[in-house]
Amino acid sequence: MKKSVFMILAGGIFTFSTLTNNSYGQSKPAPFKAAERVVFAGNSITEAGFYETYIWLYYMTHFPDRRISVLNGGVGGDVAEQIYRRLPGDLLPKNPTTLVVSFGMNDSKYFEYNDSLHPVTEEKRKAIVQESYNSYLKIQDTLRAHPAIHKIIMSSSPYDETVKQEGSLFKGKWKTMDEIVSFQKKAAKDQGWDYVDLFHPMTAINLKEQKKNPAYTSTGPDRIHPGSAGHLIMAYIFLKSQRLAGKPVADFAIKADKRLVAKQQNCQINTVKSTKEGLSFQYQAKSLPFPLDSVARVWGNQQIETEALPVIPFMKEFNQENMQVTGLQPGNYLLKIDGQQIAEFSAAALKAGINLASLHNTPQYQQSLKIMDLNAKRKDIEAKFRNYYWVQYDFLYDKGLLFNNTQVAEDTIKANLEKNGWLKVKYDDYTAVRTQRQALKNQMKAYVDEIYSINKPKSRLIELIKQ
């Protein structure tokens, strides 16, 4: 896309729906299969670990018997050249069956756009893009030697150049990123690799929402790093590209006056009974609702996950646990699940249908929250490994000490702790991984084992009691 298309986006001709549904002839990734090991390679946006965690959480809850692994392969500050460097020592040793490669935010540069003495001309932009492309070709050549690995190129989330806020404004960076995205898209098509576009759909969301609120952004205060809401948008786009939208947690309809099951999708309804109080039945879903976090998790960004819901149809497309009951006498009914009071609904509302996944006090939603908590604990340990690899590749690599476990490497690190703030922040995690690697891996595996032991939907007694 060139500048003219950016202006078309700004004018609203391209919509988010258009961009997410139009593949431009690209191959889209299939849903992950059981036993897949999916590695996401990228920069600090990937290193943050949230969109990958949300993707895995969807599979954990929606496909409870389809155990997969989703692994973080991000390192903050990385450009394509650094991802290439990490392939043999970090990414490929994770034994991925699928490798998702994403870059572009850092490749497209930053402060160069504000250098009045040496501005980013079209010629300079071309050189920036060419540098990124040359590094990408090294990634491509390396991965072509591993035909068994399924490859996905995923564009970066966008730099938000249009949000009305102070600071971090690098005019022209979006266009450079757009040109990097263009070669990524073409390269994926030429190689027969799958492609996922985050850049244009998220740009479309930003522009649409900024017409109503100029301060809206799916990224954050620095225009670069998405918060929890932005990461949910990224996960949504990825899952949608896998053609997983529209698969309900469960969808069922009951004719209360006839005690008949009119519909049951991804669930089983049994023992429908009329009672003195109303109606009861056994409900066994094949999936669990997707739980939503209510805390801002990304450092320096106050977004929470639920802030994404007004701008993407996540609940409609990925989190529908629909209960419809017709033939009830007029009035209000208390919904109880396994004896627990959940909420009160009118007969008219029950006839129209209730999305149980929107009710956070149901036993099945509480079950999902436990899975989310365990997955977050796993992610926290995985973050230590990402800090370890940052020290290896962003500090020791240039000193010729990559994976050097001698005292020389340790002394070199300690000598630089006070003058290298990033190194100081990451040193404790580096040390923990270097000295306790297997124990940390075992703990992550224990969390995942527990998740896949508790993520099976249970048979629930549902009662509707006339008030």
Give the C-alpha separation, 144 to 46, whole Å: 23
Residue 144 and residue 272 in one domain: no
Q: Which residue bears the tokens 């850049």?
A: 199
Residue 341 and residue 446 in one domain: yes
**Structure confidence at residue 275 (pLDDT):** 83
Mean pLDDT rounded to a whole number for the chain: 94
Domain boundary among 179, 207, 241: 241
Contacts (Cβ under 8 Å, ≥6 apart) of 220: 226, 227, 230, 298, 300, 301, 303
Evaluate whether residue 10 is within a structural domain: yes
Nearest to 79 by CA among 55, 46, 31: 46
Q: What is the mean pLDDT of residues 140-169?
A: 97
What confidence tens digit (pLDDT) does each residue in 104-146 have? Answer: 999 999 999 999 999 999 999 999 999 999 999 999 999 999 9
Residue 61 and residue 148 in one domain: yes
**Structure confidence at residue 297 (pLDDT):** 87
**Structure confidence at residue 276 (pLDDT):** 82
Evaluate whether residue 308 is within a structural domain: no
First to last CA, the chain: 59
Residue 162 and residue 217 in one domain: yes
What DSSP element (H or E) covers 260? strand 260-265
Residue 175 and residue 282 in one domain: no
Count up the domains in the chain and report the number.
2
For residue 10, pLDDT over 90 is answered with: no
Residue 180 and residue 131 in one domain: yes
Contacts (Cβ under 8 Å, ≥6 apart) of 446: none
**Structure confidence at residue 24 (pLDDT):** 54
For the whole model, what pTM was predicted?
Answer: 0.94
What confidence tens digit (pLDDT) does each residue in 272-328 have? Answer: 999 888 999 999 999 999 999 988 888 888 899 999 999 999 999 999 999 999 999
Evaluate whether residue 302 is within a structural domain: no
Nearest to 240 by CA among 164, 170, 319, 329: 319
For residue 17, pLDDT over 70 is answered with: no
Residue 87 and residue 192 in one domain: yes
List b or e across 246-260, with b for residues whose CB sees 16 or more CB atoms inside 10 angstroms.
Answer: ebbbbbbbbbbeeee
Q: What is the mean pLDDT of residues 165-187?
A: 96
Residue 273 and residue 332 in one domain: yes
**Structure confidence at residue 9 (pLDDT):** 46
**Structure confidence at residue 2 (pLDDT):** 39
Domain boundary among 187, 217, 241: 241
For residue 435, pLDDT over 90 is answered with: yes
What confidence tens digit (pLDDT) does each residue in 404-421 have? Answer: 999 999 999 999 999 999
Evaluate whether residue 334 is within a structural domain: yes
Q: How confident is the model at residue 261 (pLDDT cuts 50, 70, 90)?
A: very high
Contacts (Cβ under 8 Å, ≥6 apart) of 385: 72, 429, 433, 440
Residue 28 and residue 51 in one domain: yes
CA atoms 416, 420, 423, 427: torsion sign: positive
Residue 190 and residue 46 in one domain: yes
**Structure confidence at residue 79 (pLDDT):** 98
Residue 116 and residue 230 in one domain: yes
Cβ atoms of 279 and 350 within 8 Å: the answer is no
Nearest to 159 by CA among 177, 147, 142: 177
CATH of the domain at 70: 3.40.50.1110
Evaluate whether residue 30 is within a structural domain: yes
Domain boundary among 241, 276, 296: 241
What confidence tens digit (pLDDT) does each residue in 76-87 have? Answer: 999 999 999 999
Evaluate whether residue 108 is within a structural domain: yes
* Max Cα–Cα distance, the chain, nearest Å: 83
- Residue 59's alpha-carbon distances to 39, 109, 244, 324, 413, in angstroms, are 15, 35, 10, 25, 40
Cβ atoms of 159 and 170 within 8 Å: the answer is yes
- Residue 38's alpha-carbon distances to 99, 139, 144, 152, 308, in angstroms, are 6, 17, 17, 10, 25
List b or e across 53-86, with b for residues whose CB sees 16 or more CB atoms inside 10 angstroms.
Answer: bbbbbbbbbbbbeebbbbbbbbbbebbbbbbbbb
For residue 332, pLDDT over 70 is answered with: yes
What confidence tens digit (pLDDT) does each residue in 18-53 have? Answer: 455 444 578 999 999 999 999 999 999 999 999 999
For residue 457, pLDDT over 90 is answered with: yes
Evaluate whether residue 47 is within a structural domain: yes
Q: What is the mean pLDDT of residues 389-406?
A: 97
Q: Which domain holds residue 346?
A: 250-286+320-467
Amino acid, single-letter form, for residue 42:
G
Residue 208 and residue 278 in one domain: no
Nearest to 336 by CA among 366, 365, 362: 362
Evaluate whether residue 274 is within a structural domain: yes
